[in-house]
Structure 1
Amino acid sequence: MTLSEQITEAFGTRAADRLTLPGDGVVAVILAYNEALRFPHFLKHYRALGVRHFIVVDNMSNDGTAALLDGQADISVIRTANPYRDYKSVWRQLICDRYLQDRWVVFPDVDELLVYPGWPDLSIDALAGYLDQGGYQALFTPMVDMYPEGPLKDLSYRAGDSFQDACPWFDGGGYRYNPLKGSHGKRYRTPARHVFGGTRERLFHQQAKRPANALDRLLLSTVFSLHARVPETRPGRKLDHLLFKLIKNALPSPAAVQSKVPLLKWQGGTVFSGGVHGIDRQVTVAPDWGVLLHFKYLDDFRSKVTEALARKQHTDNAGHYLDYNSRMDGLMEEGLRYPGSVRFTGADALIACGLMRESDAMKRWRKQAAGT
């Protein structure tokens, strides 16, 4: 089957094989369903970063998303009725194979804002230039859940308002940085480790096979802390997995992956693990980390959870959404803040918590780029 035939089959339309894109600049590839509330600020953020074009796969939204996006010169929309559950990885891969070989591509969800060292002054094109200069092919990012000051019931977010103003708080601790369990980690070779924990486990995913002991706590605070470095050698990687086996039964299961590889220099045939959490080949990842600020907890959270449970298009038949639903009344009445919450004031707040990294090489590069 030719690439054009694969595209037509995966999207159910030939429109996906007839896009016209700018010849340079970073392109965003987005999968969306009913995101009219978030798209205005989302687009404002990524346009400010310097994203040249947006390819939006709209999975038959019925909330006005299509009308909102229609006619915007820097947006190409592909509407498809094929199931998100079966095609989410394939859609991204085929679009990039068709149009974006050797191009820098960003893969955000509409509730995610990419930030990185030097943001907001450093453009995404300049960031891509730094990555190219260093021989890097990808940027790793923890996902940091953002939430409001008080109960969700008191939030009144309107389309176009700043996400950060509505939800300026995040968990400053409670994260870990460890390999994936089992065959999934062997198949998807980049990144070597993922971030887990934070708000998601504090509130929703807490069940483990056994209580944590002193060794678990020691390894989590050292070898698998956010500040730890991934072993570079094969023996080091093997030891990494052996140490992880000692503690894995003391960790929540199932565990929600709280990291992605959302900025990637595309090479044909690359396969994502469903979402953009991992890819099936080993590529050179920058030592610097960006962050995806994740704005799930707006005042439409209840309706989004209800919608996800009805559609069953997410992982494990939207199993994680059952956990969200079980805590819904408490979140609406009490909110998500706790004593470990930190207010987002910019990249420095994330660096201080270990959620963002800036290498000495990037610091020097940014100084040179600024002429200082």
Structure 2
Amino acid sequence: MDKVFKRVFRKLRSLLPWYARQRRKSGRKSDQTFPAQLGPLSLIRAGVIPNPEEPVIVAAMRNEAKALVEFFDHYRKLKVRNFVFVDNESTDDSVGICNAQEDLNVTIYSTSQLYRESRSGLDWTNAIIEHLSRIDDYWILFVDLDEHLVFPGFEEISLRKLAWYLRKHRYDALFTPMVDMYPNADIHSPDYDNSFASSKYYDASGYAFGKAARFPLFQLTGGARRRYLEDSRISLKKVAFFNTSSKSLPEISAHAYTLRMELAPVTGALLHYKFAASFVEKVSSEITEKRRTQAQDYELYNKQLSRVCNLYDETISHEFTGSLSLMEDNIMWVNPGFLNHFGKHMSAEMKERAQALSAKDVDRSLDQLFDIMPVFSSSSARY
């Protein structure tokens, strides 16, 4: 009898978010649009307000034409169609490329406010996130243009299906650590291929966890940028995919949030292509324009450009070939409940190898996190 009661209770509990959405929709105007002015932001391309069941990518940009093509290609593969950009006076064809995506629902705001005066663009993106949250509960992917989200089985599973899974189990967010990607090449060579596709290597080891004051309540360091800059302060922790129902907003980019959220026990990762596209030109531009509050980081990049030409290290560099790469290196984690839910969408080989990982290395990694991060709980790990 107790088991029956628990099953009924879980079913009713899972319906609460749906019931809340229906209540909100009943009072929602069908002609709801993005406002022409949103604080310092001016609307220059109006998309439609997205369906709350579909994830929305929110990003700020300036002169990202070289990154945008691969950005759109990647997220098309995840079946994402809703994008809201804030353009900060781009002088290249960034806006034109966004306008050309006729198959996607793209909204563009523009602002002339200095990047460093907007908390590194956070005030702009938070204004958009808050506006959407007043309309409904949305799943937001808050990323930079050089960040590509991946998660276990992303090759076959859309971001919308992932959002549905997280909502069903009442998780607010997905932990998405940054994984610095780099090529096996001399970045000063005239033959250097600066495409994202050529940056297919990452550090498979050298990562460390510690405690932190802001949510999520831990710190993660390591990766290629730490080696490159010889700086232990480089933070890799990010919670880039979250639901607005938590009422939590990014406080320091996606590295820290204003309120605690319920993180899923499965994790994703942000493939961070810092050293691709126009890295050398961007370093020079940031130093000259002094747009960022963390301009000292780019001074360090510039200093190291003359010293380090190739980040590839055969002792720690692994090639990214898919989600299993990060799972086998214990950088991205999956749990049995996730595999049970999405197993039918995965190839037989991926499911078999992922199941072996979920029963072995992943459990140990989550246990280590449980000790320092109270947002994970033994009950949530069941699903």
Matched position secondary structure for 2:148: strand
Does the 8 Å CA contact 1:111/1:296 hold for their aligned counterparts?
Answer: yes
Matched, 1:98 2:131: yes
Distance 2:346 2:226 in 1: 40
Tell me the TM-score normalized by structure 1: 0.76
Q: 2:316 aligns with which of 325, 337, 340?
A: 340
Unaligned runs of 5+ in 1: 207-251
Residue 218 of structure 2 is matched in structure 1 by 193
Q: 1:83 aligns with which of 97, 105, 114?
A: 114
Distance 1:302 1:18 in 2: 34
Which whole-Å deviations, capped at 9, do the CAs of 1:76-111 have from their partners, x for residues lacking one?
Answer: 111111122232222122112212441111111110
User: How many Å apart are 1:137 and its aligned residue?
Assistant: 0.6
Which whole-Å deviations, capped at 9, do the CAs of 1:266-308 have from their partners, x for residues lacking one?
Answer: 1385331231111110110011110100111126211111111
Tell me the TM-score normalized by structure 2: 0.74
Matched position secondary structure for 1:153: coil
Distance 1:354 1:153 in 2: 32
Matched position secondary structure for 1:62: coil
Distance 1:314 1:195 in 2: 23
Matched, 1:170 2:195: no
Percent identity for Structure 1 against Structure 2: 28
User: How many Å apart are 1:178 and its aligned residue?
Assistant: 1.5
Distance 2:83 2:154 in 1: 20
Residue 240 of structure 1 is matched in structure 2 by none
Distance 1:95 1:298 in 2: 28
Q: 1:282 to 1:200 in 2, by over 3 A?
A: same
Residue 89 of structure 2 is matched in structure 1 by 60
Matched, 1:365 2:380: no
Matched position secondary structure for 1:195: strand
Distance 2:259 2:109 in 1: 28
User: How many Å apart are 1:330 and its aligned residue?
Assistant: 2.7
Residue 307 of structure 1 is matched in structure 2 by 285
Matched, 1:324 2:301: yes
Q: 1:94 to 1:287 in 2, by over 3 A?
A: same
Does the 8 Å CA contact 1:26/1:50 hold for their aligned counterparts?
Answer: no
User: How many Å apart are 1:356 and its aligned residue?
Assistant: 0.3
Residue 218 of structure 1 is matched in structure 2 by none
Residue 202 of structure 1 is matched in structure 2 by 227
Which AA in structure 1 matches 2:320? F
Equivalent residues in 2 for 1:30-69 (5 A)? Answer: 30-69=59-98
User: How many Å apart are 1:10 and its aligned residue?
Assistant: 2.7
Distance 1:17 1:63 in 2: 17
Matched, 1:291 2:269: yes
Which AA in structure 2 matches 1:194? Q
User: How many Å apart are 1:55 and its aligned residue?
Assistant: 0.6
Matched, 1:111 2:158: no
Distance 2:229 2:287 in 1: 16
RMSD over aligned CA atoms reads: 2.4
With CA pairs under 8 Å and 6+ residues apart, which has the higher RCO, 1 or 2? 1
Distance 2:344 2:222 in 1: 36
Matched position secondary structure for 2:65: coil
User: How many Å apart are 1:71 and its aligned residue?
Assistant: 4.3
Matched position secondary structure for 2:113: coil
